[in-house]
């Protein structure tokens, strides 16, 4: 069983991220731990995934592209147009190669935290939702209700957030990442909507 030095990872994130992004990261870490308590998943792994989920966020976009090309990480057309989307897959790569994380559950949660994907694991869902509801967030609509719902029925909360993301992007449909849409379609089907 891998041991994680959470304090050391925190220190590394403080160096890698802007002040605001670091505050957000700590919020996601604690929120993910709370959701892990509620849903019976490994709290330490949730904390590590929360801490590292945005580890590539503050790399300038041009450099994100360069790094992906150098490391043979696939860049989709959508990511080419909107390179900030790359921070999820580049983050999973850095979590493994730079921060030494080998656990597939943690790496998957980082990889899919921006678009989601169909049939996410509970760890994936927890990081996706903790990112959305952590205490420093204040812009999303309906946050009060979504926060409460996360602790009652997290798949329903996930569905509502995916729906809201698509609604938000509805006036610029070519900005919608295909993965966001297939995630939404999957949960719409799964929850009989
Ligand atoms: O990195 P964070 O800001 O903490 O949060 P995040 O990783 O969820 O990324 C946030 C941005 O990603 C937010 O502005 C919404 C955007 N996003 C999510 N799905 C899509 C998307 N942007 C586009 N263009 N298309 C999507 O499908
Ligand atoms: Fe992110
Ligand atoms: Fe985030």
Which of 85, 128, 137, 174 for mutating ligand 1's site (highest number of atoms within 8 Å of CB)? Answer: 85
Neighbours of ion ligand 3 (CB under 5 A): 54, 131
Question: What is the Cα 52 distance to its own chain's centre?
Answer: 9
Tokens read off for 69:
């090309």
Q: Output the ligand 1 site: residues, CB below 6 A.
A: 24, 54, 57, 82, 85, 113-115, 131, 165, 169, 175-177, 180
Which residue's CA is the nearest one to ligand 1's atom 13? 114
pLDDT at position 1 is 57
Q: How far apart are alpha carbons 178 and 134 in whole angstroms?
A: 26
> Over pLDDT 70: what percentage of the chain?
99
pLDDT at position 93 is 98
């Amino acid at each position: 069983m891998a041991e994680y030095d959470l304090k050391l990872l925190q220190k590394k994130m403080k160096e890698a991220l802007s002040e605001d992004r670091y505050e957000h990261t700590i919020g996601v870490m604690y929120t993910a731990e709370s959701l892990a308590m509620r849903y019976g998943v490994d709290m330490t792994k949730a904390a590590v995934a929360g801490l590292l989920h945005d580890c590539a966020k503050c790399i300038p976009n041009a450099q994100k592209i360069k790094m992906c090309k150098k490391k043979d990480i696939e860049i989709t057309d959508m990511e080419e147009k909107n390179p900030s989307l790359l921070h999820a897959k580049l983050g999973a790569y850095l979590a493994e190669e730079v921060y030494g994380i080998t656990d597939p559950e943690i790496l998957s949660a980082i990889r899919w935290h921006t678009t989601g994907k169909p049939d996410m694991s509970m760890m994936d869902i927890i990081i996706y939702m903790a990112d959305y509801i952590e205490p420093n967030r204040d812009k999303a609509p309906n946050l009060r209700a979504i926060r409460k719902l996360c602790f009652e029925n997290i798949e329903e909360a996930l569905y509502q957030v995916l729906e809201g993301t698509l609604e938000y992007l509805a006036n610029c449909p070519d900005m919608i990442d295909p993965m966001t849409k297939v995630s939404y379609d999957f949960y719409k089907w799964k929850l009989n909507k």
